[in-house]
Structure 1
Amino acid sequence: MDLRQLGYFVSVVDAGSFSRAAVALNLAQPTLSRQVGLLEADLGQRLFVRTGRGALLTEAGEALLVHARLMLDTAQRARDELRELHASPGGRITVGLPPRVAAGLGAALVTRFRERLPRAVITVSEGLSLHLREWLIAGRLDLALLFDPPASPLLAYETLMRESLLLVAPADGPRLPPRVSFAALADWPMVLPSAPNAIRSLVDAIARPRRIHLQVVAEVGSVQTVVRLVQQGVGCTVLPQSALPHELGPGSLQRAPIVSPVVRNNLVLGMPRARPATRLMRETAELLKSLDFRALGGPPP
């Protein structure tokens, strides 16, 4: 089968008639009819029934259409991939980032993307990790950085950063010990991010089976607001170092590592398993992995 003839066949299907397809293809109608006729002769099947309203597919035409679209799409992908072997890939890619990652690394990501991939366009979408995971599964995102996402057979994860959680307390409150056991968190009034925040989900997942009942005095959607409330003495909180604003002075908040168990916040790169990874996706993934996560305050894994 000739790919050009298959393209003409699909054009007639999409246009609904030979005359409209000929106009769209900038071909003479007899030329288009002859090419489709040659395809029919090659296959030994009638593909269309002409009516006063246009062209209708026969049963053979319906069967061929599925294969024709697949073959044309595969051929176009091959052309694109070969064309990109010696050129910077073009296209558009959408990357999901949690708010504190976007605040700390979003500008560096876009700057490096423009330097490395000048023919492509990047869109950065911000959201909670739970929402980013849903958008990644739904195909609204091509790649995403996620905090502690639940496993999914549809997604592949690669850990980029691990960071221990801290008990964070007001500077003028009772002095924190050098380390705090997780069970001892129940002794402190807590201001926590509200669900479905990834840190809150992580804390609840450890506290619940151990029957540790935290004194939650306030739940707030924004981590920045949580930090401000702790500064004002409303309570303590549980956060990684990277969630604390860089402009805070060393004595503005108390911090103590949480032990027994040590609780780690994991930042992972999420990619869809079923969708073929284009060169643009692969290069953007490598760019994400090369970012300096020390800007967030956490060590590499």
Structure 2
Amino acid sequence: MERRQLEYFLAVVEHGGFTNAARALYVSQPSLSHAIAALEAELGGALFHRLAHGAVPTAAGEALIVPARQVTRDLSTAAAAVQEVLGVSAGRLDIVAQTTFAVDPLAGLLGEFLRRHPKVAVKVTDPEQGVHVGQLVRSGDCELGLVDAGAPTADLESVLLAEQTLHLVLPPGHDWQHAVALSDLSQLRFVASPQGTATRGVLDDALRQAGLTPVIAVETTHRAMIVPLVLQGAGAALLPDSMAVDARGKGAVVVATDPALRYRARLVWRPGPLSPAAAGFVGLVR
């Protein structure tokens, strides 16, 4: 069993078929098909159901997905460790983080990390829901993850990050200019991300403590829409520091809440050796 075969196998899984996988890998489809066929022959069974418009894993294929991801990740870590000894500073850093955590604090931490290690290539993935972060780290899809500090991570190594503050961002011309009590948030209509996301969780929890339920004017997974919608008067939003500063520069009214609404992230990774890039990032965070 070769690393190339496992990478081809995972590409077919992720892209839903041989044609799309070959295109993504920049290899010919016959070469990819031959590699998968050789892997199936070695393992003694079909890994995919070949369909008219794609391919889906068989039960045997499903059983191979997680081990294949772990093996390819461990091989990458081993290669990077050798390169580090040989003085090669380049590498790859894969992180999965919800958008709020990616904005603050991840963006600032990555900026500092890349100033120290400019040759490292970084990929940041946004999960659909916060609960998926731990799953992606456990499966080996991503080496590091940022989760809410309260998320269950007992089976993962972790380090707690500093608290971040959320600001109340209001449409231009709003007459609230001072810190707003949590009970007053019930007077507002909100532009918010779906339940299960970081800022929505803070909003729901804050109003729940006051015995209230937030009124959601617009719920969107497209977080880039939130500030434009607030600027157009669709509603208010709770945003991390850097997004709030940007919104203020575009004319929004930004005020604090009393008490302040805060969130905290935890950086997590699987037990065991990390790639040099990931180890360096963990060291920076610590």
Q: What TM-score do the two structures reach when normalised by structure 1?
A: 0.56
Which 5+ residue runs of structure 2 have no aligned equivalent?
Answer: 1-76
Aligned-partner SS, 2:235: coil
Structure 1 position 231, deviation (Å): 0.7
Structure 1 position 230, deviation (Å): 1.1
C-alpha deviations, 1:13-32, integer Å up to 9, x for none? xxxxxxxxxxxxxxxxxxxx
Residue 144 of structure 1 corresponds to 145
Q: Distance in 2 between matches of 1:111 and 1:242?
A: 16
Structure 1 position 139, deviation (Å): 1.8
Contact kept, 8 Å, 2:204 with 2:213, in 1: the verdict is: no
Q: Percent identity?
A: 20
Q: Distance in 2 between matches of 1:80 and 1:229?
A: 44
Residue 258 of structure 1 corresponds to 257
Q: Does 1:159 align with 2:121?
A: no
Q: Does 1:230 align with 2:192?
A: no
C-alpha deviations, 1:36-94, integer Å up to 9, x for none? xxxxxxxxxxxxxxxxxxxxxxxxxxxxxxxxxxxxxxxxx999968854634676542
Aligned-partner SS, 1:275: coil
- For 2:265, the aligned partner's letter is L
Q: Distance in 2 between matches of 1:114 and 1:151?
A: 32
Q: Distance in 2 between matches of 1:181 and 1:268?
A: 28
Residue 276 of structure 1 corresponds to 273
C-alpha deviations, 1:202-228, integer Å up to 9, x for none? 221333354212222221222321211
Residue 25 of structure 2 corresponds to none
The 5-angstrom pairing of residues 1-301 of structure 1 reads: 84-85=84-85, 87-88=87-88, 92-99=92-99, 109=110, 113=114, 116=117, 118=119, 122-127=122-127, 130=130, 131-148=132-149, 150-173=151-174, 175-244=175-244, 246=246, 248-249=248-249, 252-260=251-259, 262-272=260-270, 274-287=271-284, 289=285
- For 1:166, the aligned partner's letter is H
Contact kept, 8 Å, 1:165 with 1:263, in 2: the verdict is: yes
- For 1:282, the aligned partner's letter is A
Aligned residues: 211
Q: Distance in 1 between matches of 2:84 and 2:217?
A: 56
Q: Distance in 2 between matches of 1:79 and 1:240?
A: 37
Contact kept, 8 Å, 1:133 with 1:149, in 2: the verdict is: no
Asked which structure has the greater CA Rg, the reply is 1
Aligned-partner SS, 1:208: helix
Q: Distance in 1 between matches of 2:80 and 2:223?
A: 43
- For 1:139, the aligned partner's letter is G
Structure 1 position 110, deviation (Å): 8.2
Flag the 1:101–1:201 CA change in 2: closer, same or farther, 3 A: closer
Measured on the aligned residues, the alpha-carbon RMSD in Å equals 3.9
Q: Which moved more, 1:223-232 or 1:278-287?
A: 278-287
Contact kept, 8 Å, 1:88 with 1:117, in 2: the verdict is: no
C-alpha deviations, 1:169-222, integer Å up to 9, x for none? 11123x114111112101122222222221101221333354212222221222
Q: Distance in 2 between matches of 1:80 and 1:242?
A: 33
Q: Distance in 2 between matches of 1:177 and 1:123?
A: 39
- For 1:253, the aligned partner's letter is A
Q: Distance in 1 between matches of 2:79 and 2:192?
A: 52
Structure 1 position 115, deviation (Å): 6.4
Contact kept, 8 Å, 2:80 with 2:276, in 1: the verdict is: no
C-alpha deviations, 1:95-152, integer Å up to 9, x for none? 224446657876994895596385x654433335613332112221111234546132
